[in-house]
Chains A and B, each alone.
Chain A
């Protein structure tokens, strides 16, 4: 009951902020909505028992990446946003329609499969919820089974950092 209320509230917020992100005129507002959206997503994570992921979401996404966006927005500081320019190709409408239809399709697929008899997935879902998402478990996985992907990811970050510095420097 409580969970349902929480879920629907959060879902509403997430989608609402999402719509705002996509539609807001002012880029800064976009960013603000994005942060709000992310915080709500983080709460969804908590609901799903993934505290560590939630913290990462706040720390890295909300606290790091989006700040970066905000910086760039403020650095660029456009007087007239590009969306004010005429859309010559009328593409946006096609995109919008396509996306809506696809959403309908996906939902249809989901609803259709949810109506079917319990599959293995559903059976697994029936078992009681465990706190699988605790930090130790994730940590153990990261540093044992997924050590190499982890290292690759760190290398990727390093490369990205260097690349960003190179790109952003006025003269090298």
Chain B
């Protein structure tokens, strides 16, 4: 077996990211879409952590932490919007959220 290099982590990250993309593209339950976004964020974090280790520089981790913070904020607001939406429309189907257009 080859030793584990950053490329391994990057491939893992890319795969996870693509899973997230697929989730976003294919699911219509908005909560699950959100969760897919979380997956993507995690993929990014893996990337950051991998490079951090690679470059012996903790800045990558710092940015991963910021990503976590932003994710938390995003989740809070997003879920708040979802709740408000659900209260009005009794559905979580993203296809029905289409009034924001011309």
Contacts and interface: CB of A to CB of B under 8 A. Distances in A.
Q: Do chains A and B touch in the complex (CB under 8 A)?
A: yes
Main secondary structure of the interface of B (DSSP, over half): helix
Nearest to A75: B83
Contacts of B49: 44-45, 48, 50, 53, 133
A2 to B, nearest CB: 10
A33 to B, nearest CB: 9
B12 A15 contact: yes
A146 B58 CA distance: 12
Interface string B5-39: 11111111011101111111111111110111011
14 contacts: A11-B8, A50-B61, A76-B83, A76-B92, A82-B28, A85-B95, A124-B54, A133-B49, A141-B59, A157-B69, A163-B77, A164-B79, A167-B77, A168-B80
Nearest to B34: A69
Interface string A38-75: 10010011001110110011001100111011001101
B54 A52 contact: no
A117 interface: no
A156 B69 contact: yes
A112 to B, nearest CB: 11
Interface of B: 1-12, 14-16, 18-32, 34-36, 38-39, 42, 45-46, 49-50, 52-59, 61-62, 64-66, 68-77, 79-84, 86-87, 91-95
Contacts, number: 243
B36 A21 contact: yes
A121 B12 CA distance: 18
Contacts of B70: 153, 156
A4 B56 contact: no
Given A21-B39, A72-B82, A146 B23 contact: no
Which of under 10, 10 to 19, 20 to 34, or 35 or more describes the interface residues of A?
A: 35 or more
A132 B58 contact: yes
A129 B61 CA distance: 16
A19 B46 CA distance: 17
Contact of B18 (A65, A102, A163, A167): A102
A121 B61 CA distance: 18
Given A82-B93, A102-B18, A37 B39 contact: yes
Contacts of A37: 39, 42
Nearest to B83: A168
